[in-house]
Chain A
Amino acid sequence: MTANTFEQVRAVAGDIFGLPPDRITAESSPETIENWDSMQHLNLVLAVEEKFGVQLEPEDIEQMKSIGAVAAIVTKLQSARR
């Protein structure tokens, strides 16, 4: 995963969870972010799909268990597309 992708994921996650991006790390997860519930998970999925122009498969969505994991999945999908 590239630093740029991570930064962008972090910015999107910040918006969705209502946190300043610098409070979000690669390890941030539903355990550390209070309002990361199932509805916010869906919102994060949609925001990521829209932002990066990718389509997340159900398996990808299940694996999105931390911000680092989200960025890794986005990188994977983007390189697969190229």
Chain B
Amino acid sequence: MSDSTSNSSEGDRNPAHLRVDIDRLIAEHAFDVALNRLTDLWRRDPASGTASFVTAKLGELREQTANSLPLTRFKLAILRSFTVEPIMPLLRAEALSYGIDLEIHVGDFNTYAQDILDEKSSLYRFAPNAVVLAVRTDEAAAELWNGFADLSREAAQQAADRTVRGYEQRVRTFREHSQAALIVHTLEQPAFPSLGLLDDQSDFGQSGLIRQINRGLRRIASDTRGVYVLDYEGLVARHGSRHWHDERKWQMARLPISANHLLDMAREWMRFIVPLSGRIAKVLVVDLDNTLWGGVIGEDGMAGIKVGAEYPGAAYQALQRALLDLSRKGILLAVCSKNNLDDALEAIDKHPGMLLRSKHFTAMRINWTDKAQNLREIAQELNVGIDSLAFVDDNPFEREQVRAAVPEVTVIDLPKNPLEYAATLRNCAVFERLALSAEDQQRTEMYSAEKQRSGAEQNFQSKEDFFRYLEQEAELEPVSELNLARIAQLTQKTNQFNMTTRRYTEAQIAEMAKKPEWHIFAIRVRDRFGDHGLVGVAITRDEGDRCEVDTFLLSCRVIGRTVETALLAHLAESAAQRGRKQLFGWFLPTKKNAPARDFYEQHGFVREESAAAGSRWSVDLKTSTVRCPEWIKLNTSMRSIPIANMPTETSVGGKN
């Protein structure tokens, strides 16, 4: 079904027609549309010929718009020891698909050393944003490559050391002259080392020494700000050395890479250029059916969808693992799916094969609204620009719809075969990061938990459903050395949900704790998204058959999720158990505590008295209807406060 839809939408967009269309649009001065069509064309037909066409038309557009295209400009210099010219159109076209207008300077053959040394060289005059140092082993370590069999072990080692020192010097000099990013290709191993099998029997063979050089390059990169290693060997290995290389072109034209892999070289460079130019995605929005799992949850049900350790579910698990890796890099995950919410959530949270659970998603739009609208909302909810979103969906129709409606969103095309999903996601340049601080990751988690809550809330028809979904657990704990500071801090800092705004020091709290008529309740809350920590405090004082609520406060982090009701219910219950007949408390208004104003009234308290300072409210404990909401699991096992454990008890108690 989806295929026929996609064919009809692509029918008038076959590459030949698109070319004609683009020429017409440029002639009509519809430059922005022409630019979009160019990107379309490249996506549909990413071949060398297309790249030449795209580059030529991009040049025309630049000229006609006096360089005012809505693209990020980026200047890349390539210093090289081999022919890269045929890759340049591919690289420009590929960059265009990320919204980058790439200006490229290619150094002369093997002049990279002079180019870097001479501060007046064309390299520095070009003022690049980034420089690629693409040098092959046969040039960078010529002795090792060509004459290894003639070298003594010492001479071979010296040759390797010299190569690393050469790189070190060049990198240092480069940094003196330029603040541009520097991307250094690692050196490739020979397919057949000069001594055959013997070579691999020690670390000091031809391959071993080249590995040593590469370790040196990685060390230089990690020691120097803005210097990165491109794992050329890894790149070649991913595609297969035999397929990657083309000896004919190497011999004839100094081009070592076969025609079929020139685009892969360009894409590898883009993995650096995209994060360097800031065209990254911060949020990945995923579809569910046939993307995160095989099948349609609404039709196939929990037992029918495919996700798990075995084929075909394994393909989806592999994708989920890739998504988990992205989230560990600080990329937020979100869901946008046309589904019944309950069906989808059940699958996400209950299916045994799922690696991703609700807690991994910072926003969810599971509804029947169109996806473009949902994506806009997700961006808004997460407080990121719409261009920070990437969207992945198996359905070409949905992808096209999103592309058309919100062109700023990076839409990731999934291949037809789910086995290739994971690799597709792992290979997306928009998710590349060149540095990641521990703070980034930490912030992401905090942000993510809170965003998840508010995101989830919008998916529910009623607040109660949302509360049930939250699976809140509250735990009352006694005052102790461990939480005394936090309790005092909450009385001092809490402004909004605070009935009396009485500020207490640690010493005052400790003093209260050892008096039998005073009771101090500290509440800790966690939900499915994470632990909020200790967020609420209530202090009561028994007086005859009445119990006064001296302090009742809750951190704004958890206001409005009925934890306050649970805490109040517990105060009432606890007072009743001690034989009190009435619970009463003051509401003392401040400039900031309006959120607490109606609290007592909403819980069936009656106003006893109004004074200038505020109002006094009470409830008869026999008839009180304040109950802990059924969706909060309240652990009250620690209801008695062991003041005997308080370290201050002995000394202060003596004075009693």
Contact = CB atoms under 8 A, between A and B. Distances in A.
A52 B262 CA distance: 15
B85 interface: yes
Interface string A20-54: 00000000000000000001001101110111010
Given A11-B16, A18-B56, A49-B260, A43 B48 contact: yes
A46 B48 contact: yes
Given A49-B259, A50-B260, A55 B49 contact: no
B469 interface: no
A12 B49 CA distance: 5
B147 interface: no
B278 to A, nearest CB: 31
B613 interface: no
Contacts of B16: 11
B97 to A, nearest CB: 17
Nearest to B56: A18
Given A11-B16, A42-B86, A58-B248, A16 B52 contact: yes
B86 A51 contact: no
A58 B52 contact: no
Contacts of B255: 42, 46
A46 B56 CA distance: 18
Contact of B259 (A50, A58, A61): A50
B252 interface: yes
A47 B248 contact: no
B112 interface: no
Contacts of A43: 48, 52, 86, 89
Contacts of A53: 260
Given A42-B86, A50-B260, A58 B50 contact: no
A55 B248 contact: yes
Contact of A51 (B47, B89, B246, B258): B47
B255 to A, nearest CB: 7
Q: Interface residues of B toward A: which range? A: 20 to 34
Interface string B99-135: 0000000000000000000000000000000000000
B253 A42 contact: yes
A12 B15 CA distance: 12
Q: Which of A12, A18, A50, A57 has the most C-beta atoms of chain B within 10 angstroms of its own C-beta?
A: A50
B158 to A, nearest CB: 38
Interface in B247-286: 248-249, 251-253, 255, 258-260, 262
Given A11-B16, A39-B85, A46-B259, A51 B49 contact: yes
Contacts of B89: 43
Contacts of B246: 55
B53 interface: yes
Q: Interface residues of A toward B: which range? A: 20 to 34
A81 B48 CA distance: 23
Contacts of A55: 246, 248
Chain B contact surface mostly:
helix
B252 A58 contact: yes
Contacts of A12: 48-49
Nearest to A50: B259
A47 B252 contact: no
Nearest to B252: A58
Contacts of B258: 49
A9 B569 CA distance: 81
A24 B52 CA distance: 16
Contacts of A42: 83, 85-86, 249, 253, 255
Contacts of A50: 47-48, 259-260, 262
Contacts of B83: 42
A47 B49 contact: yes
A45 B83 CA distance: 14
A57 B56 CA distance: 29
Contacts of B50: 15
Contact of B49 (A15, A39, A56, A61): A15
Contacts of A57: 248
B174 to A, nearest CB: 28
A15 B252 contact: no
B253 A47 contact: no
A11 B56 CA distance: 15
Contacts of A16: 48-49, 52
Nearest to B16: A11
Nearest to A49: B259
Given A55-B248, A57-B248, A61-B252, A47 B48 contact: yes
A51 B259 CA distance: 9
Interface in B37-82: 47-50, 52-53, 56
A53 B259 CA distance: 9
A15 B53 contact: yes
Contacts of A46: 48, 86, 249, 255, 259, 262
Nearest to A56: B248
Contacts of B249: 42, 46
Nearest to A54: B259
Q: Which of A45, A51, A57 has the most C-beta atoms of chain B within 10 angstroms of its own C-beta?
A: A45
Contacts of A58: 248, 251-252
Nearest to A21: B16
A43 B233 CA distance: 25
A82 B219 CA distance: 50
A14 B16 CA distance: 11
B47 A18 contact: no
Nearest to B54: A15
A56 B372 CA distance: 47
B49 A11 contact: yes
A57 B248 CA distance: 7
Contacts of A39: 85-86
A4 to B, nearest CB: 13
A77 to B, nearest CB: 13
Given A12-B49, A14-B49, A49-B259, 12 more contacts: A11-B49, A15-B49, A15-B50, A15-B53, A16-B49, A43-B86, A45-B259, A46-B86, A46-B255, A46-B259, A51-B48, A61-B252
23 contacts: A11-B49, A15-B49, A15-B52, A16-B48, A18-B56, A39-B85, A39-B86, A42-B83, A42-B249, A42-B253, A42-B255, A43-B89, A46-B249, A46-B262, A47-B47, A49-B259, A50-B47, A50-B48, A51-B48, A51-B49, A53-B260, A58-B248, A61-B252
Closest 5 CB pairs of A and B: A15-B49, A49-B259, A47-B48, A46-B259, A12-B49
